[in-house]
Structures are given as C-alpha cells and as structure tokens.
Amino acid sequence: MSSAFRSISGRIVSNLQHPIRNCPAALTRLHLRFQPRNVQPSSIPSAFRGAPARNYATGSGKGGETAGSKNPFPIIPLLAILAAGSGGFYFLVQSRKEPMPAIEEPSRKPRLTAGDVKKPAFGPGEVSVIFILGGPGAGKGTQCQNLVRDYGFVHLSAGDLLRAEQNREGSEFGELIKTYIREGKIVPMEVTVALLENAMRDAIAAQQKTMFLIDGFPRQMDQALKFEEEVSESRFTLFFECSEDTMLQRLLKRGETSGRIDDNIESIKKRFHTFQVTSMPVVDYYDKKGKVVRIDASSTREGVYSQVQKQLIDKLKA
C-alpha cells in the first residue's frame, strides 16, 4: 500500500469515526430532529429535566413534617409524586414514538415557478440549428458556402464572428480574442455565445431566415451546454473527418493568402492539440445521443459536397 493511499484511507477512516465533528451544521440539525415534538422543557417534570431532586425522606419539602411526626410514612404525597412522575414519563415516551416530522428549511427549498425554468431564446419551431464541426482546415467553411448557395441556410462561423469582434473599433475583447486565436485556445464561451445569439437575431430580423449552420462551434463542452440551454437546441452535428496531414497541407496553403494570424505552423499545431483534447469530447457527446452525421472530408471539394448533400437531406427528412 503506497503512503499516499495510506494517508488518504486514514483520513477517510478518521472522518467516518467522527462524522459529526467534521460537520457542525449536521450536528445542529440532528440535535434538533431528536427533540421530542410538543414537549417543551418546562412541561417535562423536573425530575426528568435534571433539576435537583428534593429529599422528601428528610421532610425538608412542603409541609415540613419530620420523622418524629405522627405519620412516619407520608404515603399520600409519595403516591401523588410517583403518579405525576410516571404520567410524565409515559407521555414523554409516547411522544418519542411518533414519527419525527421533517424539519422544513424554506430558505433552501424555494418553490419552483415557471420563471425559474430557463428556456432557450429560440424554440425548435422557431429556428433550425445544425452544428458544423471538424478539425482546423477540414473544409467546414468551404462546404457551408455550398449549402448557403444551394439551400439558403444562414452560415454563421464562430471564428469569423470572433475575428470581426477582434477588429471592431472600441471592442473590449479585441486583445483577448487575438491572444486566444493565436494560441489556438478557445475564447471564453460567454463572448462567443453572445456573438452567435446576436448574429442569429440579426439574420432573422433582416432576412427572415431561420435555418442556421453554426460553423466551428461548439468547440468545448461548456459552450455546447450553454448554447443549447440559452440560445437553441441543435438538430444535429455535421462532422468533417480528415487526417492531420491533409488539414496541415490545406492550412499552410490557405495561410499564403488568408492573412490569418493562426495559419502558421506553430499555431496550427496548437489548434490540432486543442481540437483533439477539447473539441472531440463534444463530438463524442453528440455521437452518444445519435446526433452526429459523419462526412469523409479527405476527398475533393466536390466529392465531399455530394456526401454532404445526400447525408444532410436524408437527416432533414428523418
């Protein structure tokens, strides 16, 4: 047994031996629960309250009779005391037999109201959201353009929205976004989710379009959960599978003209790492829910697109 294990197991055992010592609040609650119901301390006969017992045998009580009095055995007062004591004890025992009522803690259990249940900004009947995922350079943006052209989707690239925010004059987040993108890290979700929600509202207002391709998002589990809780549920995820070698060649080529600060070998390596560690769990999460459509993204642009069309149409019909 390793010393680390010994020390942990020792702590567990000592906690088990002293569960209350480690939890004063629990102690207070337990103590409360075992107060007999309806029995106030003042209604308990003093004999049971631990009050100093009178020494009746010495005659020091009310009446002041002594051993030399007429009646050496003051039987009537003695019987009365015994009867009162037994009666009190009986009622005390009875009250303990009753089931203990649960102690209510109203401040900890507020009543649930309709307003407490968060609803996404857009219901399933209002918008249709498809997530587009795949490694950097897998061809997500390229295929989204095809779908916009042929089917009238609204294409929202999370990366494009972040770059636009980064370049917006006066943006509070410009520097932060720039650093995250160059390092291939995921920008804090609040920023990205807000940008996406705003862009969806704009598209609905300006174009009355409600079918969204959300490209390059969600790249981290917290984003996925937040977006689905606050903005909209997704219908499914189109996942573009491609080897790192192929993606690297595509990105280096794109980097010749894109002007992007992350299309260079150092940033690309970091982006691959982030994709494997942080984004693949999102794909796995939706896969387990049966909500992933896999596309082999290693063939030509046209070859990939014909798969996308077929799979997408099948899924939308389903």
Residues at the site binding ligand ADP, with contacts judged by CB under 6 A: 134, 136-142, 250, 253-254, 300-301, 304
Relative to beta strand 211-215, strand 292-296 is: unpaired
Structure tokens at 86: 């037994």
Centre a 10 Å sphere on the Cβ of residue 10 and count the other Cβ atoms it contains.
10
Among 178, 185, 291, 315, binds ligand UDP (CB under 6 A): 185
CB-nearest residue to ligand UDP: 159
Stretch that binds ligand UDP, among 62-70, 176-184, 236-244, 283-291 (CB under 6 A): 176-184
Binding-site residue numbers for ATP are 137-142, 254, 299
Stretch that binds ligand UDP, among 93-101, 112-120, 144-152, 211-219 (CB under 6 A): 211-219
CB 212 within 8 A of CB 153: yes
242 binds ligand UDP (CB under 6 A): no
271 binds ligand UDP (CB under 6 A): yes
Among 131, 173, 217, 236, binds ligand UDP (CB under 6 A): 217
Binding-site residue numbers are 137-142, 163, 185-187, 216-219, 223, 254, 260, 271, 299
What separation, in Å, do the N-terminal and C-terminal C-alpha atoms of the chain show? 56
Total of residues contacting ligand UDP (CB under 6 A): 20
- Nearer residue to ligand ADP within complex by CB, 105 or 256: 256
Stretch that binds ligand UDP, among 110-118, 121-129, 215-223, 238-246 (CB under 6 A): 215-223
C-alpha gyration radius of the chain: 37
- Nearer residue to ligand UDP within complex by CB, 214 or 292: 214
Binding-site residue numbers for a ribonucleoside 5'-phosphate are 163, 185-187, 216-219, 223, 260, 271
Q: For residues 201 and 279, what is the distance between their CA atoms, to the nearest angstrom? A: 26
Give which of ligand UDP, ligand ADP, none residue 254 binds (C-beta under 5 to 8 Å, depending on kind): ligand ADP
Give which of ligand UDP, ligand ADP, none residue 142 binds (C-beta under 5 to 8 Å, depending on kind): ligand ADP
71 Cβ contact partners less than 8 Å away, ≥ 6 residues apart: 65
192 binds ligand UDP (CB under 6 A): yes
Residue 235 CB, shortest distance to ligand ADP, in Å, is 20
187 binds ligand UDP (CB under 6 A): yes
Give which of ligand ADP, ligand UDP, none residue 271 binds (C-beta under 5 to 8 Å, depending on kind): ligand UDP
Residue 193 CB, shortest distance to ligand UDP, in Å, is 9
Identify the CA nearest to 304 among candidates 120, 90, 129, 146.
146
The full length of the chain comes to 318
Q: For residues 151 and 212, what is the distance between their CA atoms, to the nearest angstrom? A: 11
- Nearer residue to ligand ADP within complex by CB, 88 or 136: 136
Residues that bind ligand UDP (CB under 6 A): 136-137, 140, 157-159, 162, 180-181, 184-187, 192, 216-217, 219, 223, 262, 271
